[in-house]
A and B are shown apart, each in its own frame.
Chain A
Amino acid sequence: GNSVTQMEGPVTLSEEAFLTINCTYTATGYPSLFWYVQYPGEGLQLLLKATKADDKGSNKGFEATYRKETTSFHLEKGSVQVSDSAVYFCARAPNTNAGKSTFGDGTTLTVKP
């Protein structure tokens, strides 16, 4: 079935460091891909998405590029802030309207001042 594999955490960085969180997905079809973020005490919310190959999603300084050839959607940010501390989830949409979305297990990011 469809699956998403996410880089295991936790990840601890100093402020202004470069962030990469790896995400790969099973290559059946061309699903839309998402990164969701869960800040402490809050619900999941969409961070960015890409709906077709080579698309780049971006928001709040975060970017991720839909790479069909490597079936990847890695999340990057050039300079993290303390406020970016959260749990990040990679997700893939189903191939059809009757399918279900699949989420990775989440990566916890802690940014220290």
Chain B
Amino acid sequence: EAGVAQSPRYKIIEKRQSVAFWCNPISGHATLYWYQQILGQGPKLLIQFQNNGVVDDSQLPKDRFSAERLKGVDSTLKIQPAKLEDSAVYLCASSLDNRGSYEQYFGPGTRLTVT
């Protein structure tokens, strides 16, 4: 079974530029998550999709971050414009559905450096 795919793996941009990350979840997984992981901290949920609907985006900085999950499969996360404090690893995860007992499967992450 193929895992969660993410691209790119690394990205370096200057502040005020824009960037986009892509995620392809495990086939058949209804729930998709985007997390931000700052060095030395645990993952913080940015947005959670159930199929192509948003379940939770309470911690997404909506003035600069946006995400979509077209057709309930792939997803993209965009930052525009980026700030220095956005430097982090962005993790995508998926699970069979949004029941709490289901484990999440994580992709390798995208390491973003904003200079």
The reply on B61 being an interface residue by CB < 8 A is no
Query: Judging by beta carbons under 8 Å apart, are B106 and A89 in contact?
Result: no
Query: Judging by beta carbons under 8 Å apart, are A49 and B103 in contact?
Result: yes
Q: A100-B48, A105-B42, A106-B41 are in contact. Are A95 and B108 (CB under 8 A)?
A: no
The reply on A99 being an interface residue by CB < 8 A is yes
Interfacial chain A residues near B93, Cβ < 8 Å: 44
Report the Cα distance A31→B100, complex, angstroms. 7
The reply on A101 being an interface residue by CB < 8 A is yes
Query: Judging by beta carbons under 8 Å apart, are A101 and B45 in contact?
Result: yes
Interfacial chain A residues near B109, Cβ < 8 Å: 43
- Contact partner of B100 (CB less than 8 A), chosen from A6, A95, A104, A106, is A95
- Contact partner of B41 (CB less than 8 A), chosen from A51, A91, A100, A105, is A105
Query: Judging by beta carbons under 8 Å apart, are A98 and B56 in contact?
Result: yes
Q: A43-B107, A100-B56 are in contact. Are A93 and B43 (CB under 8 A)?
A: no
Query: Judging by beta carbons under 8 Å apart, are A89 and B103 in contact?
Result: no
Interfacial chain A residues near B91, Cβ < 8 Å: 43-44
Report the Cα distance A42→B107, complex, angstroms. 9
Report the Cα distance A104→B42, complex, angstroms. 5
Interfacial chain B residues near A6, Cβ < 8 Å: 42
- Contact partner of B42 (CB less than 8 A), chosen from A45, A49, A51, A103, is A103
Shortest Cβ gap from B95 to chain A (Å): 9
Query: Judging by beta carbons under 8 Å apart, are A51 and B43 in contact?
Result: no
Question: Sorted from nearest, which 8 A-B pairs have the closest CB atoms?
Answer: A93-B100, A103-B42, A44-B106, A43-B106, A46-B103, A32-B101, A43-B108, A100-B45
Q: Which residues of B contact A (CB under 8 A)?
A: 3-4, 33, 40-45, 48, 55-56, 58-59, 91, 93, 98-101, 103-109
